Structure 1
Amino acid sequence: MKHITILAPSCATTLGTVACIAGAYEILTRANTYCKQSQGRQLFNIEIAGTTPRTALANGLFTVKTHSFVTDLSKTNLIIIPSLPSSFDRSAPENVALLQWIEKQYKNGAEIASMCSAAFMLASTGLLDGRNCSTHWNFANKFRTQFPNVNLQTDELITDEHGIYTNGGAYSFLNLVLYIVEKYFDRHTAIYCSKIFQIEIDRHRQSGFIIFEGQKQHSDEMVREAQAYIESQLSEKISVETLSAKFAIGRRNFDRRFIKATGNTPIEYAQRVKVESAKKAFETTRKSINEVMYEVGYSDLKAFREVFRRFTGVSPLVYRSKYNKDSAQLQ
């Protein structure tokens, strides 16, 4: 029988950690039971493992009784790392031992799944270097600063590469668990779990939930001034040539510095700022799509729709209908 290990780390944890452990264990156990009833076989031994018999979580608010010690597990097929604070300390002695165990298991053939900000722990092993990864969009700037060699994909809900799975923020870990159920059991079982636990299946992006606040956690003052200028010119169409000339710098050098500081090209940054402003207008006002489009500097409805969909995953009309309580009256 194959083995799935859900970690109960003894490091700093949150209520999100509790939710991830409980949710993953319940759904995977139900998938096992379903397969036993429908196919006459139980596919996995699912265990919660830690470094102590009882692990206190969320500042002691909850305690989980572990099934086993990670040090006693010489072989597992899948390691699930629950959400952890983004302040994860890779240098703490208990964390060093756990990171070494994760690396060893991966080299021995185990797959790894990180939930939400557990990506900080997984990235600390070095296993994500040069690979794609997702985490909560709210931690994106911090993650990029700490792990510049990882290809962070903030729009993606789930990444799947070389036996490593990562997912976006908060309770989207439930979508990752369904994804794992389909890969480790089968599609039919995943659909069953989706219906039992009422989780939307086949959700692939978290872009619709992102609140773009600008990438300001850098020290390039020229780029900061350029960002402020872009944000102050919402209704204008700004070219890179105009920006680079304004700051008396060559276009290529301007692009390079802007991308290094923010992770976006100047044009992408301007588009994100405009889309975020449009989202807020759709959420809080009764303005028409055309009115909002003009306010954020677009005159071509097709172009506006394309840019909006690229960053949110849906059309302006769908977004407004979803997030504006008066949307039914605006049709």
Structure 2
Amino acid sequence: MKHLTILVPDGKNNLSSIIGAYQLWMKANEYWKQKGKQTLYKIELAGISENIEFNDGLFTVKPHTNIINLKETDLIIIPSLDHNYENTISNNEPLIQWLSDQYQKGSEIASICTGAFLLAASGLLNGKSCSTHWIVADSFRNMFPEINLQADKLITDENGLYTNGGAYSFLNLMLYLIEKKYDRETAIYCAKVFQIEVDRQSQSSFLIFKGQKQHTDEVVKAAQTYIEDNLQEKISAEQLSYRFAVGRRQFDRRFIKATGNTPLEYLQRVKIESAKRTFESSNKSINEVMYEVGYSDVKSFREVFRKITGMSPLEYKNRYNKTAVV
């Protein structure tokens, strides 16, 4: 029998990701047995303390075992954390070292949402791709610049390390792993029991783009402000570099270093974010919104919108517009 470890780190974590992961894998085991097969995984909660409190003491979790008792395990799941990442990392140094040791022994590791911060602190993600909740993307990049953060991705899978986007999208990561470790039939069964939409690949439609401004490059900040204040204008990267008296190549390098986006990507994201908000709250047509954010060609607007959100402008409007929902 293989072994699955769901971690319960010290500190404030999100209980839902622990319970949800546990229930899904227990259901997968149950269905596996119903098909006449032996239980595939022994599932245990493990931590470094006997009891961990959640929601200001409203709930308490008592892990099955301490990590020191687990010499080897096949798959480790790191739950979502609260937003005090530095404290959580400092409070869980033995657990972080244990993660590194287990990976060297052949364990696979999956992080849920902001659990990526704990996995990143182990150094195992250095030079690799990773996802986490879009709302903490800037903080993650600042803390771990050596990791290739892909905040639009719902799931990443690289060398036995798995990460996923935010909040309850961890259910999709669990289904992904269940299909990988059991089979497609078992994953579909679990999806139907828990009523989870299968095969989601992106969290792009949920992303609210605010722009990375936690940097000290005043020229780039001025360029960002100019872009955001002139949505209806057709602005090029050449115009921006000329306006702020910086050579084009140097301007691009500084912009990417400061924001994580090229000037063109930033332009597109700001415009599409404005279009999304308009679609959500008004009855304006696709063309009206397109013109408001500086596009004159509907094909180009549609292509950029789909690239950033994963759906067409009409699909987005039909899904999120308050009138359409009613």
What's the TM-score, normalizing by structure 1?
0.96
**Cα deviations by residue, 1:229-282 (Å, 9 ceiling, x for unpaired):** 011110111111111111111000000000000000001001000000100110
Q: Does the Cα contact within 8 Å between 1:20 and 1:173 map onto a contact in 2?
A: yes
What is the aligned partner in structure 1 of residue 7 from structure 2?
7
What is the aligned partner in structure 1 of residue 271 from structure 2?
274
Deviation of 1:52 after TM superposition, in Å, equals 2.3
Deviation of 1:317 after TM superposition, in Å, equals 0.3
What's the TM-score, normalizing by structure 2?
0.97
What is the aligned partner in structure 1 of residue 288 from structure 2?
291
Mapping 1:1-331, distance limit 5 Å: 1-10=1-10, 12-14=11-13, 17-89=14-86, 94-327=91-324
Q: Does the Cα contact within 8 Å between 1:136 and 1:168 map onto a contact in 2?
A: yes
CA RMSD of aligned residues (A): 1.4
Q: Does the Cα contact within 8 Å between 2:134 and 2:166 map onto a contact in 1?
A: yes
Which stretch of the first structure deviates more once superposed, 90-99 or 237-246? 90-99
Q: Does the Cα contact within 8 Å between 1:4 and 1:77 map onto a contact in 2?
A: yes
Name the CA shift for 1:190/1:233 in 2 (closer, same or farther; >3 Å).
same
Which stretch of the first structure deviates more once superposed, 77-86 or 56-65? 56-65
Deviation of 1:168 after TM superposition, in Å, equals 0.3
Secondary structure class of the residue paired with 1:200: coil
Q: Following the alignment from structure 2 to structure 1, what is the Cα–Cα distance between the partners of residues 124 and 58?
A: 32
Deviation of 1:325 after TM superposition, in Å, equals 2.8
**Cα deviations by residue, 1:282-302 (Å, 9 ceiling, x for unpaired):** 011110000000111111111
Secondary structure class of the residue paired with 2:85: coil
Secondary structure class of the residue paired with 1:31: helix
Q: Does the Cα contact within 8 Å between 1:136 and 1:169 map onto a contact in 2?
A: yes
Deviation of 1:58 after TM superposition, in Å, equals 3.2
Consecutive unaligned residues of structure 1, counting only runs of 5 or more, are none
**Cα deviations by residue, 1:4-28 (Å, 9 ceiling, x for unpaired):** 0000111x214xx200110000010
Q: Following the alignment from structure 2 to structure 1, what is the Cα–Cα distance between the partners of residues 322 and 83?
A: 34
Q: Does the Cα contact within 8 Å between 2:80 and 2:114 map onto a contact in 1?
A: yes
Q: Does the Cα contact within 8 Å between 2:7 and 2:45 map onto a contact in 1?
A: yes
Deviation of 1:48 after TM superposition, in Å, equals 0.6
Q: Does the Cα contact within 8 Å between 2:269 and 2:308 map onto a contact in 1?
A: yes
Q: Following the alignment from structure 2 to structure 1, what is the Cα–Cα distance between the partners of residues 94 and 305?
A: 45
Q: Following the alignment from structure 1 to structure 2, what is the Cα–Cα distance between the partners of residues 205 and 103?
A: 28
**Cα deviations by residue, 1:185-227 (Å, 9 ceiling, x for unpaired):** 1100000000000000100100000011111111111100000
Secondary structure class of the residue paired with 2:172: helix
Q: Following the alignment from structure 2 to structure 1, what is the Cα–Cα distance between the partners of residues 176 and 38?
A: 21
Q: Does the Cα contact within 8 Å between 2:274 and 2:293 map onto a contact in 1?
A: yes
Q: Does the Cα contact within 8 Å between 2:47 and 2:95 map onto a contact in 1?
A: no
**Cα deviations by residue, 1:134-188 (Å, 9 ceiling, x for unpaired):** 0000000010001000000011000000000000001111111111110111100
Q: Does the Cα contact within 8 Å between 2:8 and 2:79 map onto a contact in 1?
A: yes
Q: Following the alignment from structure 2 to structure 1, what is the Cα–Cα distance between the partners of residues 169 and 88?
A: 28
Deviation of 1:54 after TM superposition, in Å, equals 2.2
